[in-house]
Amino acid sequence: MGKVVIKYVWEIPVRVTHWINVLCIITLCFTGLYIGSPKTLALNPSQYIMGWTRFLHFVAGYTFTVSVLARIYWAFVGNEYSRWRVFIPWLTSEGRRRMWEVSRWYVFLSRRLPADVGLNAMAATIYLIVFLLYLFMIVTGFALYVQYDPHSFMHALFGWLLPIIPAQWLRLTHHLAMWLLIGFVINHIYSAWLVDIRVKGGVISGIFSGYKSVEE
């Protein structure tokens, strides 16, 4: 085993946006499921339960959007581990080789987990898809949202989608993409836990503290 050094990998914006997104996504899933399959919970209309649920969905939706935009901005100004380049490893033959190596490890075909300081090539590619899913949720969500006021600024930004994709399709795909995200989260927590155990480098604590221990 080589010398182990402590490295500062995940800067504050990466960590803060990660955990804000987690809180928002949990809120958006629970409120979204209720919006999609409403039950009568109120004893009297002044309790305004669907109103508050939708309000919460929109507050979390706006917060999520600001956080995702902040993370995209950080992909252009942050350190080498959070740059946009990290998320497209499959464009080079070296990156494809790294993807292949780590995939073999994930499916138990190889015992050797390649050492990466930042993201491994497979995780990075999956996160790219997750960020595209985030953008998809934002675009379809706001297109649905702006229907309430065709003269608003937000309608000018997102309303053009409505004549192209009928609202019912937007709702259906907005709903289906939620399940893709939930599927990712289940695998994500499993993978983070697995790698944390195998690497013994504090992978999970890294997304709280920013630091990881890596072999030189």
Contacts to ligand HEM by CB under 6 A: 14, 18, 21-22, 25, 28-29, 32-33, 35-36, 54, 57-58, 61, 64-65, 71, 82, 119, 123, 127, 130, 137-138, 141-142, 144-145, 171, 174-175, 178, 181, 185, 188-189, 192, 203-204, 206-207
What phi and psi, each to the nearest 5 degrees, are found at residue 107?
-100, 20
Q: Do 110 and 101 meet the contact criterion of CB atoms below 8 Å apart?
A: yes
> Rounded to the nearest whole angstrom, what is the least distance from the CB of residue 16 to ligand HEM in the complex?
10
Report the nearest approach of ligand HEM to the CB of residue 47 (Å): 17
Which one, 32 or 89, has the nearer CB to ligand HEM?
A: 32
Judged by beta carbon, residue 104 or residue 171, the one nearer ligand HEM is 171
- Smallest distance, Å, CB 103 to ligand HEM? 15
d(CA 143, CA 188): 29
Question: Token pair of 6, please?
Answer: 């402590």
Residues in Cβ contact with 180 at an 8 Å cutoff, skipping those fewer than 6 apart: 133
- State the minimum distance, in angstroms, from the CB of residue 45 to ligand HEM: 16
Nearer to ligand HEM, 138 or 162 (CB): 138
The neighbour count for residue 26, using CB atoms within 10 Å, is 12
Sequence-ordered strand ranges (E) for 70-210:
none
Q: Tell me how far CA of residue 114 lies from CA of 11, 68, 187, 206, in angstroms.
A: 23, 29, 19, 18
Looking at the chain, the number of H-run helices and the number of E-run strands are 8, 2
Residue 44 CB, shortest distance to ligand HEM, in Å, is: 21
Q: Report the residue number, 162 or 185, with the smaller CB distance to ligand HEM.
A: 185
Q: Which is nearer to ligand HEM, 49 or 192 (CB)?
A: 192
